[in-house]
Amino acid sequence: MAARKASAKAPAAKRRAAAPDPYAVGPLGLFQLVDEDGKAVAQVPELPEGLPERFLEAMLFQRALDQRMLNLQRQGRIGFYGTAKGQEGATLGSGAAFAPEDWLFPALREGAVALWRGMALEHYIAQCFGNGADPTHGRQMPCHYSDRGARYVSLSSPIATQVSQAVGAARAMQVRGEGQHVAGAWMGDGATSENDFHAALNFAGVWKAPVVFVCQNNQWAISVPLSMQTASETLAVKAEAYGMPGVRVDGNDVLACYVAVAAAVERARRGEGPTFVECLTYRLGGHSSSDDPTKYRDESEAAIWEKRDPLLRHRAWLTAEGRWDDAREEAFLAESGKRITDAIATVEAAEPVDRATLFTDVWATMPALLADQQRRLDEDLPV
């Protein structure tokens, strides 16, 4: 990615340090492009046209969608929901760095990435209702979105199992000679204590598999703080033990997340192997709709991170660049709110899941035993 060269004649205030290399910053330093006040602290590299604006729109949209989905849960209309509040920068910055042909294996909070890659909003919402509008037939807990077109694989509820699945997919692509495609695996800080995490990174390192690990270090695993999760100085440093680079990024700096993960994706695509990227962020909300963080964490901590909100920071930067204003935001939010309202209305009006789907989607040809069970169900309980 070509860095925009600072002109020698630029006024001093405009002159910034050269774009830092995320790999040079390493697993102990923090890669950052824009600080908490929205000021660029380094040369922001040339980005695809319109991408920074799309980042803000997608973050605003996810924040609004999360609130609406949480409201639905509180009203008893869906059973469960996990918001990404505070983590939108790490989520979208990392997610946007992958190509449409790459395969993504998310954790709980990356639904915005599925939308970014083209999953229909109605399918996102229907997955949470688990009704007949849900392409996955209501078979999973809410938030387990999956979309084949977006190459977005459902999260696995058991923490960290998706990390080994991603390495398996990456290895398969490598063996088939399709190593120009990359697998992405997301995980939380808590996942780094699981056996699957260590096995996955170990094999990825040995095979030089085309995979990028993105750890959303939101500093809590439900009620377990990071200090009880690990004695390592950072999470990124763990990568060194598995023979791959570890990079630590300011996870509330969407541009830094994008640039760091894009560098890792390109490296994997070139056949140079995996990278582990730690995005340092904070979960502003509860772990899920079943959680009350005031029971175990000091609200003053959350208050500090409220000021580091990735939306505030990116909006401030875009505004200073002359690329965003209140009128544009108001119009975007009004249109998004309507889109969400309409999609919820459409989805909620759908019929329950068709009972016949209990028997579909596993066998190409239904075995006799299953066919018999279906016949008996239909006889005993006619629809």
Catalytic option among 77, 270, 296, 323: 296
3-state secondary structure of 185: strand
Interface positions, 169-188, toward Mg ion (CB under 5 A): 188
* Residues 287, 158: Cα–Cα separation, whole Å: 15
Contact range with ligand TPP by CB under 6 A, out of 65-73, 96-104, 105-113, 326-334: 105-113
| Least gap, CB of 295 to Mg ion (angstroms) | 16
With respect to ligand TPP, which residue has the nearer C-beta, 124 or 197?
197
| Least gap, CB of 350 to ligand TPP (angstroms) | 28
218 is a site residue for Mg ion (CB under 5 A):
yes
| Least gap, CB of 290 to Mg ion (angstroms) | 15
Rg (CA), the chain: 22
| Least gap, CB of 158 to Mg ion (angstroms) | 15
| CB-side neighbour CA atoms (13 Å) of 205 | 16
Strand partners, 211: 183
* Residues 308, 87: Cα–Cα separation, whole Å: 11
CA distances from 24 to 3, 161, 212, 327 (A): 16, 30, 17, 40
Interface positions, 264-293, toward ligand TPP (CB under 6 A): 283, 287
Question: Phi and psi dihedrals of 146, rounded to 5?
Answer: -150, 145
| Structural element, H or E, at residue 53 | helix 51-74
Please give the full DSSP string across 84-120, using - where no structure is assigned: -TT-HHHHHHHHTTS-TTSEEE--TT-HHHHHHTT--
Examine the residue annotation and report whether 355 is marked as an active-site residue of this protein. Answer: no
234 is a site residue for Mg ion (CB under 5 A):
no
| Least gap, CB of 189 to Mg ion (angstroms) | 4
Catalytic option among 151, 171, 287, 308: 287
With respect to Mg ion, which residue has the nearer C-beta, 209 or 280?
280
CB 104 within 8 A of CB 113: yes
CA distances from 61 to 5, 21, 284, 310, 376 (A): 33, 30, 17, 13, 47
With respect to ligand TPP, which residue has the nearer C-beta, 127 or 229?
229
With respect to ligand TPP, which residue has the nearer C-beta, 228 or 304?
228
Mark residue 377 as left, alpha or beta (left: phi above 0; alpha: psi -120 to 50; beta: remaining).
Answer: alpha
Contact range with ligand TPP by CB under 6 A, out of 88-96, 101-109, 117-125, 313-321: 101-109
157 is a site residue for ligand TPP (CB under 6 A):
yes
247 is a site residue for ligand TPP (CB under 6 A):
no
* Residues 262, 111: Cα–Cα separation, whole Å: 19
* Residues 315, 56: Cα–Cα separation, whole Å: 7
CB 287 within 8 A of CB 220: yes
Catalytic option among 151, 181, 267, 283: 283
Examine the residue annotation and report whether 23 is marked as an active-site residue of this protein. Answer: no
221 is a site residue for Mg ion (CB under 5 A):
yes
Burial of 78 (0-12, 13-18, 19+ CB in 10 A): buried
| Least gap, CB of 180 to ligand TPP (angstroms) | 30
Number of residues that bind ligand TPP (CB under 6 A): 17
Picked from Mg ion, ligand TPP, none, the partner binding residue 42 (CB below 5 to 8 A depending on kind) is none
With respect to ligand TPP, which residue has the nearer C-beta, 131 or 156?
156
With respect to ligand TPP, which residue has the nearer C-beta, 189 or 253?
189
| Least gap, CB of 297 to ligand TPP (angstroms) | 12
Examine the residue annotation and report whether 148 is marked as an active-site residue of this protein. Answer: no
CA distances from 236 to 19, 108, 233, 318 (A): 21, 20, 9, 29
Interface positions, 163-222, toward ligand TPP (CB under 6 A): 188-191, 216, 218, 220-222
Given 44, 112, 159, 340, the residue binding ligand TPP (CB under 6 A):
159
Hey, what are 143's tokens? Answer: 């938030």
- Residue 188-207 contact track with Mg ion, rule CB under 5 A, x = bound: xx------------------
The total of other beta-carbon atoms located within 10 Å of residue 11's CB is 7
Binding site for Mg ion (CB under 5 A): 188-189, 218, 221
Annotated catalytic residues are 283, 287, 296
Binding site for ligand TPP (CB under 6 A): 107-109, 157-159, 188-191, 216, 218, 220-222, 283, 287
